[in-house]
Amino acid sequence: MALSKLQYNSINVTPTAGEGIRFNSGANGFETASAGGNLVKLSASTASSSATISFTSGIDSTYKEYLFLFNSIHPATDSANVQFQGSTDGGSNYNTTITSTYFQAQANASETALEYDGGQDLAQSTNFQTILGKEVGNGNDESASGMLRLFDPSNTTFVKHFLATGNCQDTEAMSRQGFTGGYFNTTSAINAVQFKMSSGNMDAGTITMYGVK
C-alpha cells in the first residue's frame, strides 16, 4: 500500500514546535530531538569593496547566542582594523555604548609580545570596536579571520556581552591574534550589527551569521 500522507500524530511522540524526530536510544521507537543540530546558519554576506556590512534582520530572541564567522577579511587600506557596532533601532544608528577589553599576542621575525592594548579597548564609548586583531595588511594575500559571539542580544534587563577572537597578518609580516571582550551597556535589545574597516573599504571576505540553539 502506498502512503500518500503521514499524519503528524501517527508517530508516537509528543509534537514540539521546531523539533525533529529521531529513533530513541533503544532504537525501538521515535522521540523528538533537535532538528538539524544546534548551529543554524542565518545569513551571509560577501564583501566587495564594501564600506559596511550590516545584519539588520534575524537578531532577536530566537537564539540566546549568535555567532559570526569571518573568513579572509581583506581591507582596501593598509593597517586598517576590522570593527563592529550594535544597533538598538534596527540599523538606523550604530552607536551603542560599549565598555570592552582588548589584548593580543603577536610575533614577527624581530619581536614577540603578549600585551594589553589600551588603544583598542573602549570605555563607555559609542565608537566602533576593534576585533580580530588590529592593523590588517592590504597586501594581496593578507587578511583576517576569526569569530565573534554575541550573547542574548534581545535581553531587556541586562547588558549584552560579546567575545571575539581572530588572527590577522599585517604589513610587517606579523601574525597577530586579538582577543576582544566587552558589553553593550544598554538594556535595550540589540537588533542589528554592522561591520566595517576603521579606514577604507572592506575589499573581500565573507561574514556568516549563525544562531546557536
Partner 1 sequence: MALTKFEYNSFDVTPVASNGFAFNSTPNGLTTASAGAMTLIKTQTASDVASVEFKHGTSDVVLDGTYDTYLFKFIGMHPETDATDMTVNFSVDTGSNYNVSKMTTFFRTQHYENGTSGVVAYIAGNDLTEGTGEQYLNQDGSMGADNDQCLAGKMYLFNPSSTTFVKHFMSDTIEVNAGDRCREAFVAGYGNTTSAIDAVRFKCSSGNINGTIKLYGVTK
Which residues between 37 and 76 bind partner 1 (CB under 8 A)?
Answer: 37-41, 44, 69-72, 74
Nearer to partner 1, 87 or 169 (CB): 169
List of residues 6+ apart from 68 with CB closer than 8 A? 55, 147, 148, 149, 150, 193, 195, 207, 208, 209, 210
Which grid coordinates belong to 51? 564600506
4 binds partner 1 (CB under 8 A): yes
With CB under 8 A as the contact rule, the residue among 129, 130, 169, 194 that binds partner 1 is 169
- Are 194 and 94 contacting, i.e. CB atoms less than 8 angstroms apart? yes
Nearer to partner 1, 44 or 159 (CB): 44
Cβ neighbours, 10 Å, residue 144? 29
21 binds partner 1 (CB under 8 A): yes
Round to whole Å and give the CA distance between 121 and 114: 16
Q: How far is the CB of 70 from partner 1 (least distance, A)?
A: 8
Stretch that binds partner 1, among 53-61, 87-95, 135-143, 156-164 (CB under 8 A): 135-143
Whole-number CA gyration radius for the chain = 21
With CB under 8 A as the contact rule, the residue among 75, 91, 146, 153 that binds partner 1 is 146
Q: How far is the CB of 80 from partner 1 (least distance, A)?
A: 16
196 binds partner 1 (CB under 8 A): no
With CB under 8 A as the contact rule, the residue among 12, 28, 140, 157 that binds partner 1 is 140
3-state secondary structure 131-142: EEEEEECCCCCC
163 binds partner 1 (CB under 8 A): no
Q: How far is the CA of 136 from the CAs of 12, 35, 79, 112, 116, in angstroms?
A: 56, 39, 5, 17, 18
- Are 131 and 181 contacting, i.e. CB atoms less than 8 angstroms apart? no
Three-state DSSP state, 208 = strand
Q: How far is the CB of 153 from partner 1 (least distance, A)?
A: 18
The residue ranges that bind partner 1 (CB under 8 A) are 1-6, 8, 15-21, 32, 35-41, 44, 69-72, 74, 105-109, 112-114, 140-147, 165-169, 173-177, 204, 206, 208, 210
